[in-house]
Chains A and B, each alone.
Chain A
């Protein structure tokens, strides 16, 4: 009726299925076997469907655990014996099943059965049991009253007075499923709970045992293997309960204990058990990672026959199993490398002798196994997590394979000897058999294949290397990848595939150079050189040799070897254009300087010289066939503006004053003002370095903090602009930039040829002729060595520049300090700027002047001339010559203050065109003339007016007649006394009496005024120069005869004695002819001031002196006010009647005037002096009007 049914499937725990332990907690059943058999299937199925809380003692965390169970029939034999601490295959919990509901039946049979059962359990000290009473649900029963005592009550009272929960009644689910659910769930929960409770109790006891065992570890006879297996039981249980991490902890503890033993054995005694691990081993099969327990290895352990590697493999595989169960493949990868290293270390410590290559095989197999395991997890998160660790595993496997390859003669370039073949066979034997399928070869298969032939080895090795490099690159470990690349390069080198090797080496070189690892870089260069030599890549070989030969890191002999080799290959090299390489370390530009010979600029067509100092790092002398510095014109528009302006050629001499001497200075100051566009004429290596920001000055300022009460709280210094210094700089320019400069334009370069460059400092000069004018920068330096190797520097920085100029020569005539004055000998400066030209010997400047201007070189004794040749001394470019000239401009008769303009024509021998210079001379004086009349006598006044601050002393004034007229001039000028001085504001008058005599006043008297003058050189003492100049001026005197005399007087009317205001008076007008005149018809006009005089009747009238010489006219005038009144003015004019032909009367008159004859009469004025008014300025005393005064008096003044 009862049948034991093995549970066969449970899909909730697939992982557990694969576990070889396949263990589940074992529960025994007793009592009604048939009843249990009917329930077992559903029990097994239902138990793991829910979790139960596992409360553990010692305050350990409460875990939620899913339990399963397998049931076995209870028997006395299967109960654990005292001292047997196997946990796994032991029943842990015991259940008694019955369906007895009848109290009598219970009392007769069941009770005894339970008693016997409990007795056995009691004998074994087992307290984890349970009694289940299965009842059949009876509908009829429910209606009845509950029985007084049930079987359950009885069982409880009999057996479980203290443990009421250990007795349980359930409704049989088979009979009535619907009603039983509740009680069934209760049963399951109770079983789970009690099962875990049982485990807790057991494990506590077990742990005590383990602890106890561990305490005894230093006792003789203690065996780690036994201890290991014991503690592993605990791990198994934890694993069984799904507590993988806790199981892992157990293994890790065991690992630590073992490691410590090994380490201790290094310093102290080796315990007996440990020596069993020290025996040499024959088996080096690798790890097998799975969830299964390797029973062979475990049993070896049990027998203390396991080798160290076998033990380690077993332990690690168990750890990995736990990690796999918790889905942590990356941790496997992470633990692998330390594990392998540790094992190798332990092998050393324990001095275990190993067959050569065996460890390498084992490591290789382990690595590959771990890697394969990891690869099974291919979701991206996992890949990301484990790639970090798998990369180094790949690399490690590759290392080991290489070791094996070397051991077995599988590396390229060697053939395996029979001994090596034998090694392969024995190594393969030691690996054991672990056959996989063809699709998924096991690590063992792979290794065996790799060792089988050179071909296969190469394939596997390269594959591994690629994988390692790829993974390193993937996780960003470029340097590690490069290291493998270097190894690969060596491999390819041996294979003879130089091209591939060179690629890897160049990559590595780049990485080393980027971070300035010079020694590593140079090491790589050496390998590259080797590679290129084998490839017969002469160009690259030479380039690499230059680097090696100039590397200070290497010893001299190596450098010389490569240098010689380079020179040899260079000779073989036949290329059309030279091989171009950069300076790198072979040469270093120390300094550059444009030779200037004191000038800032280079003159066109002269030679530009640049001093170059370089440092050669080559170990030997080297001939430089051609050294050149490229030159590039600066076409920048901004710079063009900065160029010193070419001097304008046609600037008036006056405006150019004072600029001659300051020219150079002004160019310099212009330069300095331009700031960033500053031109450097030299630079050295110090300046070429970029500025180190760490050396920049910090601007710190004092900072004081005050408390509220104004007392000082703290004093500190703070940086004003911290951002500038705290700025993150690593994102840009992180790596040293390795840039190769392309070859610039060397078409116009400064060149030097055949220089021997010795090691160390070399100085040479490169030259070229300056061609076009402009600003030029030095570009780069090129050194051509041995015909076919050209070294190019990078662009020279800071930019050194020079300027080529073509400065036109200029000749300028400047006046001295004083104004240019005519009539005095003065100094002028002739300034000759040579510009960018040289003035040769025997060169003369020719000056021609306009009429009236004479010059002479001051130093010359020769007389002044209008055509002057000025010899120039020989001069260098940009010299300025100043030649003093004596200049005398004639002072012409000067009647106004206008300047006198002169022109100087200048002819330079180097210029075809003539240059005209206009000069303006100021007259120092001017003269004017006036004729004065006193009745019929005439006086000539000549006024000399000074016009300039330069004062002149006048002497010997003469006025001479130039005509033959019978006229005499009598000088009225003093001959001695005060010096006569003119200057600005100082005038001098001279007087002569003109005695005309009987000369008719028909033609003018021509006179010439002469006066000597000399400039006053001392103002205070009024000393003048001895030498005097003569001033002449011609004056024509016209109308020098008095023709008529007008006399007027005011008289009171007859009967009155005085003139009285408001009373009519007579104005007596006398006109008398004193000299013969052609005009006889005259008109008089009375021009009275209307506020004083009222003219009654006609104010004008015509009189005729045809027949008589004198006429009288009386007019009535009335004074309007009293006092001394000036007489009314009388004006006399020529009267020309209307019908009269003037031409007939006056032959002197111009004909056109007469042709204008009209029918009207007209007036013509007399010249001053022809009419003499003798009453001019006379006054008459006029009394106030009659009413006011009684007495009037008229008198003539």
Chain B
């Protein structure tokens, strides 16, 4: 379903990047980094209008001919960014939301680990495995 899943820290530094195709890793990093522009834009506009604060899903950040990039931000300003292929026309918004929710859940598990230092890159086999399954659409 997804081709790239990333977790971006509070200060916009990458904490976790996983791509379906590791060779494209760099290309996706550029894309994800660029998408932070839109994340920040959306976050700052939410602050102004004081809309539904509980909505963590940011929706489509931007799209290219090949990819669509979706964003999600936790209350602690941890950003999840998922890249899907544009050709995947069957993917619904709801499915993207579900992916994010799963990601959020396993991220919470990682952070709950007493040996994880908040702000450090995520190194967890379990997280890896779940992300892989999210990307392949099996989760």
Contact = CB atoms under 8 A, between A and B. Distances in A.
Partners in one complex: yes
Interface of A: 263, 266, 337-338, 341, 344-345, 348-349, 392, 472, 475-480, 483, 512, 515-517, 519-520, 523, 692, 694-695, 730, 734-736
Given A516-B13, A694-B118, A736-B11, A480 B37 contact: yes
A478 B37 contact: yes
A516 to B, nearest CB: 4
Contacts of A348: 87
Contacts of B37: 472, 476-480
A338 B63 CA distance: 8
Contacts of B12: 515
B34 A480 contact: yes
Given A477-B41, A730-B77, A345 B30 contact: no
8 cross-chain pairs, A with B, having the tightest CB-CB distances, nearest first:
A516-B13, A477-B37, A694-B118, A515-B12, A479-B37, A479-B34, A480-B34, A480-B37
A266 B119 contact: no
B65 A344 contact: yes
Interface string B10-54: 111110000000000110011001101110110000000000000
B63 A517 contact: no
B90 to A, nearest CB: 8
B63 A337 contact: yes
B63 A483 contact: no
Contacts of B63: 337-338, 341
A478 B119 CA distance: 24
A266 B10 contact: no
Nearest to A486: B30
Contacts of A512: 33
B113 interface: no
Contacts of A523: 26
B59 to A, nearest CB: 13
B58 to A, nearest CB: 15
Contacts of A341: 63-65, 86
B62 interface: yes
B33 A479 contact: yes
B124 interface: no
B34 A694 contact: no
Interface string B62-76: 111100000000000
A701 B63 CA distance: 49
B89 A345 contact: yes
Given A483-B30, A694-B118, A735 B11 contact: yes
A692 B14 CA distance: 18
Contact of A476 (B30, B41, B87): B41
5 contacts: A266-B89, A345-B86, A392-B62, A480-B34, A695-B118
B117 interface: yes
Contacts of B62: 392
A515 B118 contact: no
Contacts, number: 71
Nearest to A511: B33
A349 B88 CA distance: 11
A520 B30 contact: yes
Contacts of B40: 476
B34 A692 contact: no
A223 B119 CA distance: 59
A392, A483, A517, A519 pick with most chain B CB within 10 angstroms: A517
A734 B36 CA distance: 14
Contacts of A517: 13-14, 29, 33
Contacts of B119: 692, 694
The secondary structure that dominates the A interface is helix
B57 to A, nearest CB: 19
Contact of A692 (B13, B36, B86, B117): B117
A337 B68 CA distance: 12
Nearest to B60: A338
Contact of A736 (B13, B25, B34, B36): B13
B126 to A, nearest CB: 21
Contacts of B118: 692, 694-695
B25 to A, nearest CB: 8
Contacts of B30: 483, 520
Contacts of A337: 63
A348 B40 CA distance: 33
Contacts of B33: 479, 483, 512, 515, 517, 520
A337 B13 CA distance: 28
A519 B26 contact: yes
Contacts of A520: 26, 29-30, 33
Interface in B70-120: 77, 86-87, 89, 117-119
A512 B29 CA distance: 11
Contacts of B26: 519-520, 523
Contacts of B89: 263, 266, 345, 349
A694 B120 CA distance: 11
Contacts of B77: 730
A515 B13 contact: yes
A483 B14 CA distance: 17
A736 B86 CA distance: 34
B87 to A, nearest CB: 7
Contacts of B86: 341, 345
B91 to A, nearest CB: 12
B135 to A, nearest CB: 19
A216 to B, nearest CB: 25
B36 A695 contact: no
B11 A519 contact: no
Contacts of B13: 515-517, 736
A42 B36 CA distance: 62
B65 to A, nearest CB: 5
Nearest to A733: B11
Given A479-B34, A516-B13, A730-B77, 17 more contacts: A266-B89, A338-B63, A341-B64, A345-B89, A476-B40, A477-B38, A479-B36, A480-B34, A515-B13, A515-B36, A516-B11, A517-B13, A517-B33, A520-B26, A523-B26, A692-B117, A736-B13
A805 to B, nearest CB: 41
A734 B11 contact: yes
A477 B38 CA distance: 7
Contacts of A735: 11
A515 B11 contact: yes
Contacts of B87: 345, 348
Nearest to B38: A477
A808 to B, nearest CB: 51
Contacts of A349: 89
A527 to B, nearest CB: 12
Contacts of A480: 34, 37
Q: Which of B11, B25, B118, B119 has the most CB of A within 10 A?
A: B11
Nearest to A520: B29
A392 B41 CA distance: 14
A169 B46 CA distance: 62
Nearest to B89: A263
Contacts of A730: 10-11, 77
